[in-house]
Structure 1
Amino acid sequence: MSRAPLFSGTGLANTSRMPERRSLPVLALRDTVLYPGIATPITVGRLKTLRAVEAALRAEGEEKRLFAVAQRDAAEEPTTEGLYHVGVVARITQVQRFGAGLQIILSCETRATALQYTEVSGVMRAVTVELADLPPMIDAAANEEALTREVRDQAVVYGRRRGAPEDVLRQFVSTLHDGKELVNHVAFYLDLETAEKQALLETLSNDQRLERLNEHLHHQIEIAEAQERIRTSVEEELGERQREMYLREQLRAIQKELGESDEEVSAERLEQKLEKAGLPEETAREVRRELNRLKRMGRETSPEAQQLMSWLEWVADLPWNERTPDHVDLDEARRILDEEHYALGDVKDRVLEFLAVRKLRADQTPEGDARSRAISRGPILLFLGPPGTGKTSIAESIAHALGRKYVRVALGGARDEADIRGHRRTYVGALPGRILQGMKRVGSKNPVVVLDEIDKLGVSYQGDPASALLEVLDPAQNHGFVDHYLGLPFDLSEVLFICTANLRDGIPGPLFDRMETIAFAGYTEVEKHEIARRYLLPRQLDENGLREGQLAVADPALRELITSYTREAGVRQLERSIGALARKAARRIATNEIERAEILSALSVRELLGRSLVRPERRLLRDAAGVVTGMYYTPMGGDIMHVEATVMPGKGEFILTGQLGDVMKESGRAALSYARAHAGGLGIPARRLQGHDVHLHVPAGAVPKDGPSAGVPIAVALVSALSGRPVRSDVAMTGEITLRGTVLPIGGIKEKVLGAHRAGIPEIILPAENEADLDDLPVDVRSSLQFHLVEHLDQAIALCLRARPLRAETDEGEETSRTYARAS
């Protein structure tokens, strides 16, 4: 007989004599491993295991013992090759027959290994020898005791997680005095794979078995805790769903008793709406597929069904074929624009040109879709200008003139691409983007959509909404715009898009390239006065509950509001100030103090509103050396600033203050270099350039300032301070300079000139190349100002410095300035 190799990895216990061999019937176990000291019932039903039990019962010398060993693969029929080699010698203590099988109780006695397996007449037998435990290592008693206690505690925790009472568990564990006995019982009841249990059985060192068992216990406790969390979560969710279903059933029963029905959410009603929506063929196929899927779901209470119904509702409610008839009457359009807006002549002319082109295109196109698309096709308009100048209201007037519905989409602060394209349907609470929401709200396929404040779009990790607008604002692409929520192409080619913005710098280049700019400048004081008289005062009377005639505001009072209580390019703050006067009048009228309020003078305004918190810059009252009036542009419109320069004993340093940007600092250094290089011709004493510091300051130090257009004011201020010659206080100037003194053109001429006009400046120095920009100014402004167009810095210096005349000859040749006075 040949010996089979041992698979325990430890070999037989070292003894001084050869272990006793036994030939025992083999009981093949499926999905379980038995340990010494365990008594457990076993169900026997397979032919080979039945024969093994019968052989054990017939044996006389072994007293009904057999070798119980686990199969490697529980799905196969037991064979000698498919059995492990380490098992237990067990005694049959009880046998009970049921049907074709047996129920036996085994009392496991010792661990043994099979030296050889044989099979004779269908009965598997094994030659076995007992496996003894390895003796403990020196000084391992304390470690084994600690492990025993840890296993005992963890076994109680594991049993509690499996639902057993804790007091019963502790009582059971306390009866297991021996570490070996503890390992055998805990390992038998632990929920482990057969291979893991077999590995514990084959381990001959008890302290190693304790360590492995402790690791298994910790792992099984973690699994049990996770299962408990999952079970609790599922029970809560199922409970919520059951509650929802119960409430929905109650609602259906109540509606039925009241004679009402839930047709509004039924698949049949949706199908009828979708049939009337006039969907394109490709879209209709996709919608029919989703509608059939909804019908197959049966009840409409599941979350997926509710989500699908919401999607179908959106598809049905969108205006796929609904449009308003266009009528482009240019005379009517001009009347509407003049009636609703004062001034803005250039803007109105450009809008009328815009509408005229669309009228000619529409007249050449037959009625229907093509006509509406022809009116909409063309450049996207961008209204660019300061706040409160009428950009949004002009867009609304265009919609009024065309007879189209009006949609305003506020994009200021939007940082999520989903604001334009919508969320995908898979997200909870998903919705289409703001454009399709607006289309559904007005129920028209060809509205006027105003994208307000596009220069204030943000960028975040959620995407770039400005990039999403590229497709929307491209007439060559937007006929197939796909919203993420809808997932279907929607035709936006008939929509007339108008964008508004305050600053050009905030609009990405590719987006700006898709639009045609119409510039909005600030209003003059005369225009503000007329706007207040025609529009603002009647509107505030109505909003504050005053009847016509209960509040009279005289022209001097309005002028005081405009000049002393507001500082803006538009008229929003002016309307607030008028509203404040109206509220004070309304209070006195409501308390029967007066029947009619009259505000006739500037003093009356100051008595009612108190001192003005707005301190606009005004022209200087007298000439001063080193102080120059410059002009600048802000998003709120144009204004003036005073540039100051002084010379003092020092080390020849150049000091710049007033929170100036890099470009403005460079302009200051270039101006100082020019003054030093041409000191003789500019009348600057040589001693002023040596041993003296030059300090340049721009007041309002808390406000950041930058830009090249302050080059001329800075240069004039430095020359005035170094030469000691005063600067005319009635002249304002702007322009960029080079190191050679050449004056270069700049932007924002209209806003800057209007700001200087509001400040009371009668004469203005501008770069000669900006002459064409003067045509943008209102006629009354052009006629009230005198413009000096200069090409070289020496010309500006000669115009605004008092006292000794400068030599006319410069490095650029002999030049004289041109005085430009435009009459109306």
Structure 2
Amino acid sequence: MHDQKNTPSFTLFQTESEDLPTGMEEVHIAWEDDVETEDDSEESLEERARLPVLPLRGTVVFPSVAAPIAAGREKTLAAIEHALQGSKRLIAVSQMDAETEDPTPDDLFRIGTICRIAQMQRVPGGIQLVVQGTGRGAVLEFTERGEFVEAVVRRMHDMPPLDDEASAYTALHKEVRERAAQLSRLRGVPKEIVDHLLGGATSGGELADLVAFYTELEVPEKQDLLETLSVEDRLRKLLLHLQRQIGVLEAQAQIRSKVQEELGERQREVFLREQMKAIRSELGDDADQEEVQELRERLEALDLPEEARTEVDRELRRLERIPREAAESQVIRTFLETVADLPWNKRTEDRLDLKRAEEILERDHYGLSDVKDRVLDFLAVRSLQERRSDAAAEEKSEEDVSPDSEEQGETESEKDEDRRRGQMDDRTGQTVLFVGPPGTGKTSIAKSIADAMGRKYVRVSLGGARDEA
């Protein structure tokens, strides 16, 4: 083991709240001259020993590393008190599930780190301490001691390379050191601290443990590195993790650069939103694109005319290109949602019963005889036109021949008369306009017409509508 007593240095770390829910996340500087370490001689732990178990949540302690621990659970506090009364040694073992509040032996990994309590401070609700990892330990047996869990631990030793002077191993060692320094610089750690920290690790095993502890990895990944006894294999696994994290940070830097080029001098809030959008796009988890796709599916299910389909497709492409925060995006989205909500090619069959229509008009309105007559006249023309259309269709079906030009449709004079009397062309609708002051029955007349014809009544307010063009 490397003797850290002869090399004054310091380690910058952030407390990971292992047990306390009180959020004691403070940045500490632990001077390694003040941290008690063990020699490999008479103070070293024998090959087997019984040690109290320190369960860890969300972190893994490695040998040769001073790690901060915030303890608050009853069993954890009891294990620490038991260690303080004896050799100040314990076995730090990570939980398989960090959400488990009261872990049992089945909830703990079987490989941990033998630690020595270097510093301890009692705080409201628990204990803050710094533990110094001294070596790997395999748990042979867990024993419930009432207030805490005890384990029979066997020390595990690193498997050094066959030839630590070999060029391949030397290159691997150097590559891990350089990639660790590169990752730290990308994360904004000052170069002096990085060089000083990495300079304290002389052997490959110490370097791997030190870098693994400070690298942001998931607990199963760190546990895998802790359980890897071969120093060369451990360095190779760690190098893969370092390369992956460097790639992620570089991708984030490219995304930031791309977003800055697109946005230019736009407001900071818009920039942050675009950055989030670019990140979600890179990860394939863009909720906005899902909404656009859902809107596209609704529009594709409609039976739209060719002109409307062309316009809808054009607006959809524009919606996918422009940022969601742009003012035009909401305008386009509202237009497309309105198109999707319209009842395209859904028609209501007219019920042209003049006698019933007259009864409804008389039932709903007193007086207004000229208006009622005009409405009945309008309905009568529609009824006549419908019967003519049905008769023409039936005649054409029976004869199965095209009529002569003289028999097609109506004469120009008949068409003029129909238009004057309010006849509706099959290809177009017709607007009936009621003019009068409020309260004279315009709206109720429209409802009566809809009721008489068996149509749905829809009221659309045009108050405030204007044409800016």
TM-score of the pair, normalised by structure 2: 0.50
Deviation at 1:140, TM superposition (A): 7.2
Matched, 1:164 2:189: yes
Give the aligned partner of residue 419 of structure 2. 367
Are the equivalent residues in 2 in contact too, given 1:29–1:71 (CA < 8 A)? yes
Deviation at 1:372, TM superposition (A): 6.3
Tell me the alpha carbon deviations over residues 12-51 of structure 1, each in whole angstroms, 9 at most, x when there is no partner. xxxxxx9621111100011111111101211001111111
Query: Whole-Å Cα distance in 2 between the matches of residues 355 and 58 of structure 1?
Result: 118
Tell me the alpha carbon deviations over residues 620-659 of structure 1, each in whole angstroms, 9 at most, x when there is no partner. xxxxxxxxxxxxxxxxxxxxxxxxxxxxxxxxxxxxxxxx
Q: 1:212 aligns with which of 233, 237, 243?
A: 237
Give the aligned partner of residue 90 of structure 1. 115
Q: Secondary structure at the match of 2:418?
A: coil
Deviation at 1:203, TM superposition (A): 0.8
Query: Whole-Å Cα distance in 1 between the matches of residues 108 and 242 of structure 2?
Result: 27
Deviation at 1:166, TM superposition (A): 3.4
* Letter in structure 2 aligned against 1:72: M
Matched, 1:31 2:58: yes
Q: 1:151 aligns with which of 176, 187, 192?
A: 176
Deviation at 1:99, TM superposition (A): 1.1
Are the equivalent residues in 2 in contact too, given 1:48–1:78 (CA < 8 A)? no
Change (3 A) 1:210 1:360: same
Q: Secondary structure at the match of 1:367?
A: helix
Deviation at 1:367, TM superposition (A): 2.0
Q: Secondary structure at the match of 2:222?
A: helix
Give the aligned partner of residue 332 of structure 1. none
Are the equivalent residues in 1 in contact too, given 2:137–2:154 (CA < 8 A)? yes
Query: Whole-Å Cα distance in 1 between the matches of residues 408 and 114 of structure 2?
Result: 104
Deviation at 1:173, TM superposition (A): 2.1
Deviation at 1:357, TM superposition (A): 5.3
Q: 2:49 aligns with which of 10, 17, 22?
A: 22
Q: Secondary structure at the match of 2:59?
A: coil
Query: Whole-Å Cα distance in 2 between the matches of residues 150 and 213 of structure 1?
Result: 11
Change (3 A) 1:172 1:85: same
* Letter in structure 2 aligned against 1:125: E
Change (3 A) 1:30 1:303: farther
Tell me the alpha carbon deviations over residues 68-119 of structure 1, each in whole angstroms, 9 at most, x when there is no partner. 1111111112211111111111111111122111110111111111111101
Structure 2 stretches lacking a partner, 5+ long: 1-44, 271-324, 341-403, 431-469
Matched, 1:71 2:95: yes
Between 1 and 2, higher relative CO (CA 8 Å, sep ≥ 6) is seen in 2
Query: Whole-Å Cα distance in 2 between the matches of residues 301 and 78 of structure 1?
Result: 51
Are the equivalent residues in 2 in contact too, given 1:21–1:128 (CA < 8 A)? yes
* Letter in structure 2 aligned against 1:67: I
Change (3 A) 1:360 1:239: same
Matched, 1:57 2:84: yes
Are the equivalent residues in 2 in contact too, given 1:155–1:186 (CA < 8 A)? yes
Deviation at 1:133, TM superposition (A): 1.5
Give the aligned partner of residue 157 of structure 2. 132
Deviation at 1:141, TM superposition (A): 2.9
- What is the RMSD of the two structures over their aligned residues, measured on CA atoms? 3.7
Matched, 1:307 2:359: no
Are the equivalent residues in 1 in contact too, given 2:164–2:170 (CA < 8 A)? no
Change (3 A) 1:243 1:40: closer
TM-score of the pair, normalised by structure 1: 0.30
Matched, 1:48 2:75: yes
Are the equivalent residues in 2 in contact too, given 1:93–1:107 (CA < 8 A)? yes
Q: 1:199 aligns with which of 224, 242, 245?
A: 224
Change (3 A) 1:157 1:361: farther
* Letter in structure 2 aligned against 1:74: A
Change (3 A) 1:184 1:308: closer
Tell me the alpha carbon deviations over residues 446-492 of structure 1, each in whole angstroms, 9 at most, x when there is no partner. xxxxxxxxxxxxxxxxxxxxxxxxxxxxxxxxxxxxxxxxxxxxxxx
Are the equivalent residues in 1 in contact too, given 2:72–2:127 (CA < 8 A)? yes
Change (3 A) 1:217 1:301: closer
Query: Whole-Å Cα distance in 1 between the matches of residues 143 and 220 of structure 2?
Result: 23
Query: Whole-Å Cα distance in 2 between the matches of residues 186 and 307 of structure 1?
Result: 51
Deviation at 1:146, TM superposition (A): 0.8
Give the aligned partner of residue 395 of structure 2. none
Q: 1:105 aligns with which of 126, 130, 142?
A: 130
Query: Whole-Å Cα distance in 2 between the matches of residues 213 and 233 of structure 1?
Result: 30
Larger Rg: 1
Are the equivalent residues in 2 in contact too, given 1:362–1:372 (CA < 8 A)? no
Tell me the alpha carbon deviations over residues 161-194 of structure 1, each in whole angstroms, 9 at most, x when there is no partner. 2122334323432332221111011000111111
* Number of residue pairs aligned between Structure 1 and Structure 2: 268
Structure 1 stretches lacking a partner, 5+ long: 1-17, 246-299, 316-352, 378-443, 446-824
Query: Whole-Å Cα distance in 2 between the matches of residues 95 and 31 of structure 1?
Result: 21
Q: Secondary structure at the match of 2:419?
A: coil
Q: Secondary structure at the match of 2:84?
A: helix
Q: Secondary structure at the match of 1:122?
A: coil
Q: Secondary structure at the match of 2:70?
A: strand
Q: 1:222 aligns with which of 237, 247, 260?
A: 247
